[in-house]
Chains A and B, each alone.
Chain A
Amino acid sequence: MTVTVYVPGDAAALALGADEVAAAIAETAARNHLDINIVRSGSRGLFWLEPLVEVVTGQGRIAYGPVKVADVPALFAANFTTGGDHSLLLGNIESIPYLARQQRVTMRRVGVVNPRSLDDYLAHGGGKGLAAARNLTPAEIVRLVTDSGLRGRGGAAFPTGIKWQTVLDTAAVQKYIVCNADEGDSGSFSDRMLMEGDPFCLLEGMAIAGRAVGATQGYIYVRSEYPHAIAALNAALEAAGDWLGDFRIEVRKGAGAYVCGEETALLESIEGKRGIVRSKPPLPAISGLFGQPTVINNVITLASVPDILAQGASFYRDLGVGRSRGTLPFQLAGNIKHGGLVEAPFGCTLRELLYDYGGGSRSGRPLRAVQVGGPLGAYLPASQFDTVLDYEAFATIGAVLGHGGIVAFDDTVNMAKQARYAMKFCALESCGKCTPCRIGSTRGVEVTDRICDGEEDQIPLLRSLCDTMLHGSMCAMGGMTPYPVLSALNHFPEDFQ
């Protein structure tokens, strides 16, 4: 009987040697005339356990990890293909606490299914959303999405249904669905994991969006740093055949500019122009790609849609707190013991994520600061770790949830250096269109340098510059760079003295 072995093909696992492990398993099995079928799934998102190998047994999927090539002979010797005992044995994958206590909704197939197989996708509940959508009018689909409370997962948290309604209401010969897969935030990887581990889910979400607003063409704009995601999407598109009906999707590769994750710069880039931001209005929903009404949503937003269609708005709306409904795949990174993906409904606290999931710092030293929401997100001191993970709660303390990326720092961090880094990042990645960002970021680096050199009297100037960038910039690039700078100044003034 054929034994199915799952070895992740996810980029994080690959970085830890998953390909070599898979090859070693295949080779050893062949040598021992064992009939095994290796499936390259996505990752479960337990990165400290990667490469995490799963074997299908009568007792479910039994996990081993982290597996190195050198461990492979011993694993065979321990009959791991039947769930045999070994020092790397983790037990049933579902029972690993990190995973067990999560509430996986959008990411529930990632690491589970074969991302190259449409049949596998359909067998795991995929496709029901699209099927449901085909029996609904566009207005009904939009209403479902609106009722679900889904908000944009790219960071801005704009209500998805309202965006779709605008596109639906704008008459045009051609409309577009654009997926923003330019996941450039440091410490974030949920888009990548979904595209690599469950690409059909994204395609289905886009096709539903297309049906909802009357668009027949979709684009997925993926950053060039994600070659495996691009390959997975293209393979899925090929495997999809006519499953998506008359909805066409094209994968477009970015060219390394962070700012092209800003939705209007992204549209410019797809159009073949320099990636600089557009002024709004007009909103992309009214005049977006090639001047046509365009839905532009993040990967996770679109991937959340099939379940909403399949299971109803209330299923999703019943999760979460306040105006933050549903779940968010949080991503733990930086100086953290158990880095990885944690999907949970809104409402738990940052502390739970950092300690209950993350296990505290990797270095073992106290956590001093956490940056939430990417390089433009605020730094939170330990005193704010009890903040509830909810868009509004974060806004109240001058922070953002953003795309759910969380980067932890221990007490060796110098927050003045981090403030400088924020300005430097902005200087490197600014598109150069608006003045506060174009010149302000460079001046910000210079002023912070002077502060680091002991010129404390430059602090008011840095605050003034932050105010100018915050209120004067054209987009979030320059407009949010002050978040990390000001939060560092406010919460860690001692580092600036």
Chain B
Amino acid sequence: MNDIDYGTPAVASDRYVTLEIDGVTVNVPAGTSVMRAAVRAGAMIPKLCATDSLKPFGSCRLCLVEIEGRRGYPASCTTPAEAGMKVRTQTPKLAELRRNIMELYISDHPLDCLTCAANGNCELQKVAGQVGLREVRYGMMGANHVADATKDESNPYFTHDPAKCIVCNRCVRACEEQQGTFALTIAGRGFESRVTAGQGLPFMESECVSCGACVNACPTAALIENSVIAQGQPEHAVITTCAYCGVGCNFKAEMKGTQVIRMVPWKDGRANEGHACVKGRFAWGYATHPDRITKPMIRATTRDPWREVSWDEAFAYAAAGFRRIQGKYGKGAVGALVSSRCTNEEDYLVQKLVRAVFGNNNVDTCARVCHAPTGYGLGQTLGTSAGTQTFKSVEKADVLLLVGVNPSEGHPVVASRLKRRVREGAKLIVIDPREIDMVTAPHARATHHLKLRPGTNVAILTALAHVIVTEGLLDEAFIAERCEAQAFADWREFVARPDKSPEATEAVTGVPAADVRSAARLYATGGNAAIFYGLGVTEHAQGSTAVIAIANLAMATGNVGREGVGVNPLRGQNNVQGSCDMGGFPDIFPGYRHVSDAATRELFERTWRVSLQAEPGLRIPNMFEAALDGSFKGLYCQGEDPAQSDPNTQHVQAALAAMELVVVQDLFLNETAKYAHVFLPGASFLEKDGTFTNAERRISRVRKVMPPLAGKADWEVTLGLANVLGYPMHYEHPSQIMNEIAALTPSFAGVGYSKLERLGSVQWPCNDKAPDGTPYMHVNGFVRGKGRFFNTQYVPTDEKVTPRFPLLLTTGRTLTQYNVGAQTRRTENVRFYGEDLLEIHPHDAEERGIKDGDWVGVQSRAGDTVLRATVTARVQPGVVYTTFHFPESGANVITTDNSDWATNCPEYKVTAVQLVRVEQPSEWQRRNARADEEQHRLLAGAAKA
């Protein structure tokens, strides 16, 4: 259950030292602590304040050792191993000291082990046993912190019990070193030293972000999960991968039978290295929420009550529907959406079903509405539709450039890495319309915040390039060797034009030219520079152009192809990278090979024993348009909720309503399911085997820890549907699906479950050339051959402010809620963020008489809704901001169907709006609430019917 704790972090060094510990000779990298070296020698030295996720601290004094030729008893955690050292870890004197120190601890600790939540997994208890403490000579009646301690139960997920605290500082250090929030500290000194959140605040009112690092670090029950308090210690653990964002953290699911007791970040997980955020760590209760639908259901029309049926009947009903539609409207009248929440194997099966069974290419993924421009932009310039680095590469970066990405909310574990690197001295540049937390993170302030107007990314990125070119900051040698000469020459001339200068574009971007110049110089000359970007880049009319502009910057400065640099798109969902890799697009097969490529098609045709279409199919927005004009009638929607997540909700709702068969496969009756005729219950990540691929191309195992609530994992559902559709699929385990993927996809050729078991995870490409995977892309040359520059002409979006719509709305995410909120809304996370709020600058609020907490009508040319205002200078004047986690908010009722010129990715980030103070919900919200009520009524009857 418990991993070995080496006490201090591993040290990387080329130099090794040999020393003797208790007579055993060990050879360790120079700088390794004596404590860690001792573990190698088979000696577990008692410790309480040391743990291998944190820098050594040296406070508990239990790890004292004797070193030949040295005075006294040095602490082994803070003493580096040196060549020739002779260390003794167990002597009568050490035993006496350790017992006496433990005696002091226990003189200020309750003796309630049997009823303590940490019983059986308490380091204090363990060490007391190791040192043989038999009595407390001081008695238990001295000054103590036991008698009048008050528990802090404010946080929904964990409890702070100061009575159990041994002041080892591990929680404080974890908050600082791992998370970078600095919410915890020690108040008082000497005997009165106590852990406190903020300045004596309850955890919930402090700056704490509930990442759980402190809880994980606590050696006692001073900070412990409420689930452990309620249910006791887990008895076995399974390593798996988080199903929230694209960071792809590995967790140990700690179990009692088939019940999850807690999710603990796995320290050997390469993406997260033992860290986590509030979602993955705590917000997994949705998996067993009573709202889960666990029986297949069907109905003739969306006005009919649902009827629970057997799997066979549901498959038969759905299959008959798809065949009937294809018979009547043609082969192309049906399609499917793969899920970025499901596994690679499941995504692969859905696109296979569309291509091989439906006989068309009408398959798309939610990447369409998020990172499709990344696929296009990076594919065109560098040759791969993915990030170039590992997350760990951050440790070697000197300059970090964040563009349109808000990692402390969206990708918290990466944010912690970035903040740590900035604390170590790296410089941070943030390009974002809002003052995101990264701008002012404690002890990690950004050097530059280019607070641009929404929609002007291309202008500012091109202006950065202008400075680099005109001030002679190019990496000419890199470009000459690695990039296409003619395209570069064109680009160089293009960006050097005076109209691309920061001075010329200042009026458009709103960013002072001097700031842009100095940021450009820093990026180009500050050493290893790494770019991180997100949906604030892609979700624009010029999303693809902006991605290209980012790739141009990296190539122009030679910041690609090694550790510490690169272009890192932070992908939104747990497996959005995988859903793209698996061919979840209307124009590509798995591994990004175009459907028009005859050789690839032939390979798949041979393996799948069908003939395949050479013409790309419909993208999501095309499907909805086709539905409205009557040519697209049937949709298989696996683990997606376009009725909430896609822009212009009313348009999407109308399209869904126009279809004859909507098959929804999901955990919950989501917004799209309200337009469905068949509901196939899905399985959460805890209920199935498979793999997810994160934003660093890392393929990690998802492991089943409990049986699927509905009896089938998602891949089994697709398989069942395919079988009934007359195309039998013969897989008994997802590993077999992965074998097929590997056989058909060159970049996955070396991937297999046994390798994943051995290596923990692997980054594609993984094949004969890179059997252990590829941490850094484009090392000796770009995947496309020579890197290619493209000119990036800024074209203002059509979505402009007008007298009627004088403000720009931009949207984003918050830390505690996730995407459409289907999962997080069904957890205690609603206590952190219970509704979508509209951020408005005090100036704009004042002008409209809007106060904090007022209901505000938000109107765009697409529609209107009502949100609660929060007045904050975090947004700039003229810009408002909201999230889209709650369906009743209707944030996407306002967003328009403007989209990226290359990929149709919607322009969520720029919508011209007007605000007015109102007293009641919008017409759409009232209508939607009524419909919602009706659908729940229709669901309530399902079991009876």
Q: Which chain A residues have a beta carbon within 8 Å of chain B's beta carbons?
A: 257, 259, 274, 276, 279-281, 426-443, 446-447, 461, 464-465, 467-468, 471-474
Interface centre among A259, A427, A439 (most CB of B within 10 A): A439
Residues of A within 8 A of B142 (CB): 442-443, 446
B contact patch SS: loop
Instruction: Name 9 A/B residue pairs within 8 A (Cβ), A-sorted.
Output: A274-B186, A279-B77, A281-B78, A427-B191, A432-B188, A432-B193, A433-B193, A436-B101, A474-B61
Q: Are B100 and A465 interface neighbours, CB within 8 A?
A: yes
Given contacts A432-B186, A464-B100, contact A471 B73 (CB under 8 A): yes
Q: Does B104 contact A (CB under 8 A)?
A: yes
Q: Which chain B residues have a beta carbon within 8 Å of chain A's beta carbons?
A: 56-61, 64, 72-73, 75, 77-80, 93, 96-97, 100-101, 104-105, 107-108, 137-138, 142-143, 167, 169, 185-186, 188-193
Q: Are A430 and B104 interface neighbours, CB within 8 A?
A: no
- Which one of B56, B59, B72, B188 lies within 8 Å of A434 (CB-CB)? B59
Closest Cβ of chain A: how far from B669's Cβ, in Å?
52
Q: Are B97 and A432 interface neighbours, CB within 8 A?
A: no
> Please, how many angstroms separate the alpha-carbon atoms of A197 and B143 in the complex?
45
- Which one of B72, B73, B104, B189 lies within 8 Å of A432 (CB-CB)? B189
Residues of A within 8 A of B80 (CB): 281
Closest Cβ of chain B: how far from A285's Cβ, in Å?
15
Residue of A with least CB distance to B143: A442
- Which one of B78, B93, B167, B190 lies within 8 Å of A427 (CB-CB)? B190
Q: Are A435 and B138 interface neighbours, CB within 8 A?
A: no
Residues of A within 8 A of B61 (CB): 434-436, 472-474
Residues of A within 8 A of B138 (CB): 443, 446-447, 461
> Please, how many angstroms separate the alpha-carbon atoms of A437 and B191 in the complex?
9
Q: Are A436 and B72 interface neighbours, CB within 8 A?
A: no
Given contacts A279-B78, A471-B73, contact A438 B193 (CB under 8 A): yes
Q: Are B78 and A472 interface neighbours, CB within 8 A?
A: no
Q: Are B107 and A443 interface neighbours, CB within 8 A?
A: yes
Closest Cβ of chain B: how far from A384's Cβ, in Å?
24
Given contacts A439-B104, A472-B97, contact A430 B57 (CB under 8 A): no
Q: Are B190 and A468 interface neighbours, CB within 8 A?
A: no
Closest Cβ of chain A: how far from B100's Cβ, in Å?
4
Q: Are B97 and A471 interface neighbours, CB within 8 A?
A: yes
Residues of B within 8 A of A279 (CB): 56-58, 75, 77-78
> Please, how many angstroms separate the alpha-carbon atoms of A426 and B191 in the complex?
10
Q: Are A432 and B75 interface neighbours, CB within 8 A?
A: no
Q: Are B101 and A428 interface neighbours, CB within 8 A?
A: no
> Please, how many angstroms separate the alpha-carbon atoms of A473 and B77 in the complex?
14
Q: Are B137 and A461 interface neighbours, CB within 8 A?
A: yes
Residue of B with least CB distance to A259: B189
Residues of B within 8 A of A276 (CB): 186, 189
Residue of A with least CB distance to B192: A432
Q: Are A439 and B73 interface neighbours, CB within 8 A?
A: no
- Which one of B79, B185, B190 lies within 8 Å of A430 (CB-CB)? B190
Q: Are B59 and A474 interface neighbours, CB within 8 A?
A: yes
Given contacts A281-B79, A443-B138, contact A438 B190 (CB under 8 A): yes
Q: Are A434 and B191 interface neighbours, CB within 8 A?
A: no
Residues of A within 8 A of B78 (CB): 279-281
Q: Are B189 and A430 interface neighbours, CB within 8 A?
A: yes
Residue of A with least CB distance to B424: A291
Residues of B within 8 A of A464 (CB): 100, 137
Residue of A with least CB distance to B103: A468
Q: Are B97 and A438 interface neighbours, CB within 8 A?
A: no
Closest Cβ of chain B: how far from A5's Cβ, in Å?
46
A contact patch SS: helix
> Please, how many angstroms separate the alpha-carbon atoms of A214 and B876 in the complex?
47
Leading 6 A-B pairs by shortest Cβ distance: A432-B193, A279-B58, A430-B190, A279-B78, A439-B104, A468-B100
Residues of B within 8 A of A467 (CB): 96-97, 100
Closest Cβ of chain B: how far from A272's Cβ, in Å?
10
Residue of A with least CB distance to B193: A432
Closest Cβ of chain A: how far from B56's Cβ, in Å?
7
> Please, how many angstroms separate the alpha-carbon atoms of A483 and B79 in the complex?
26
Q: Are B58 and A434 interface neighbours, CB within 8 A?
A: yes
Residues of A within 8 A of B96 (CB): 467
Q: Are B101 and A429 interface neighbours, CB within 8 A?
A: no
> Please, how many angstroms separate the alpha-carbon atoms of A436 and B57 in the complex?
15
Residue of B with least CB distance to A275: B189
Residues of A within 8 A of B58 (CB): 279, 434, 474
Given contacts A279-B57, A434-B59, A447-B138, contact A439 B185 (CB under 8 A): no
> Please, how many angstroms separate the alpha-carbon atoms of A72 and B876 in the complex?
70
Residues of B within 8 A of A468 (CB): 97, 100-101, 104
Residues of B within 8 A of A432 (CB): 167, 186, 188-193
Residues of B within 8 A of A259 (CB): 189
> Please, how many angstroms separate the alpha-carbon atoms of A447 and B60 in the complex?
22
Q: Are A433 and B100 interface neighbours, CB within 8 A?
A: no
Closest Cβ of chain A: how far from B31's Cβ, in Å?
10
Closest Cβ of chain A: how far from B190's Cβ, in Å?
4
> Please, how many angstroms separate the alpha-carbon atoms of A419 and B96 in the complex?
24
Q: Are A435 and B60 interface neighbours, CB within 8 A?
A: yes
Interface centre among B96, B142, B188 (most CB of A within 10 A): B142
What 10 additional pairs, Cβ within 8 angstroms, besides A435-B101, A443-B104? A274-B186, A274-B189, A432-B191, A432-B192, A434-B61, A439-B107, A442-B190, A443-B107, A446-B142, A472-B100
Q: Are B186 and A435 interface neighbours, CB within 8 A?
A: no
> Please, how many angstroms separate the alpha-carbon atoms of A432 and B167 in the complex?
9
> Please, how many angstroms separate the alpha-carbon atoms of A437 and B167 in the complex?
13
- Which one of A274, A431, A443, A461 lies within 8 Å of B190 (CB-CB)? A431
> Please, how many angstroms separate the alpha-carbon atoms of A474 and B101 in the complex?
13
Q: Are A471 and B72 interface neighbours, CB within 8 A?
A: yes
Residues of B within 8 A of A435 (CB): 59-61, 101, 104-105
Closest Cβ of chain A: how far from B745's Cβ, in Å?
47
> Please, how many angstroms separate the alpha-carbon atoms of A263 and B900 in the complex?
60
> Please, how many angstroms separate the alpha-carbon atoms of A432 and B168 in the complex?
10
Closest Cβ of chain B: how far from A287's Cβ, in Å?
12
Closest Cβ of chain A: how far from B186's Cβ, in Å?
7
Q: Are A429 and B190 interface neighbours, CB within 8 A?
A: yes
Residue of A with least CB distance to B58: A279
Given contacts A436-B104, A461-B137, contact A431 B191 (CB under 8 A): no
Closest Cβ of chain B: how far from A86's Cβ, in Å?
52
> Please, how many angstroms separate the alpha-carbon atoms of A274 and B189 in the complex?
9
Closest Cβ of chain A: how far from B354's Cβ, in Å?
57
Closest Cβ of chain B: how far from A463's Cβ, in Å?
11
> Please, how many angstroms separate the alpha-carbon atoms of A439 and B78 in the complex?
21
> Please, how many angstroms separate the alpha-carbon atoms of A387 and B190 in the complex?
35
Residue of B with least CB distance to A470: B72
Residue of A with least CB distance to B80: A281
> Please, how many angstroms separate the alpha-carbon atoms of A71 and B80 in the complex?
66
Residues of A within 8 A of B73 (CB): 471-472
Residue of A with least CB distance to B60: A435
Residue of B with least CB distance to A445: B143
> Please, how many angstroms separate the alpha-carbon atoms of A279 and B137 in the complex?
29
> Please, how many angstroms separate the alpha-carbon atoms of A435 and B96 in the complex?
15
Residues of B within 8 A of A472 (CB): 61, 64, 73, 97, 100-101
> Please, how many angstroms separate the alpha-carbon atoms of A446 and B57 in the complex?
28
Closest Cβ of chain A: how far from B196's Cβ, in Å?
12
> Please, how many angstroms separate the alpha-carbon atoms of A446 and B138 in the complex?
8
Residues of B within 8 A of A437 (CB): 190
Q: Are A439 and B191 interface neighbours, CB within 8 A?
A: yes
Residues of B within 8 A of A431 (CB): 189-190, 193
Closest Cβ of chain B: how far from A221's Cβ, in Å?
18
Residue of A with least CB distance to B93: A471
Residues of A within 8 A of B104 (CB): 435-436, 439-440, 443, 468
Residues of A within 8 A of B108 (CB): 439
Residues of A within 8 A of B60 (CB): 434-435
Residue of B with least CB distance to A439: B104
> Please, how many angstroms separate the alpha-carbon atoms of A437 and B193 in the complex?
12
Given contacts A435-B60, A471-B72, contact A446 B143 (CB under 8 A): yes
Residues of A within 8 A of B64 (CB): 471-472
Residues of A within 8 A of B105 (CB): 435, 439
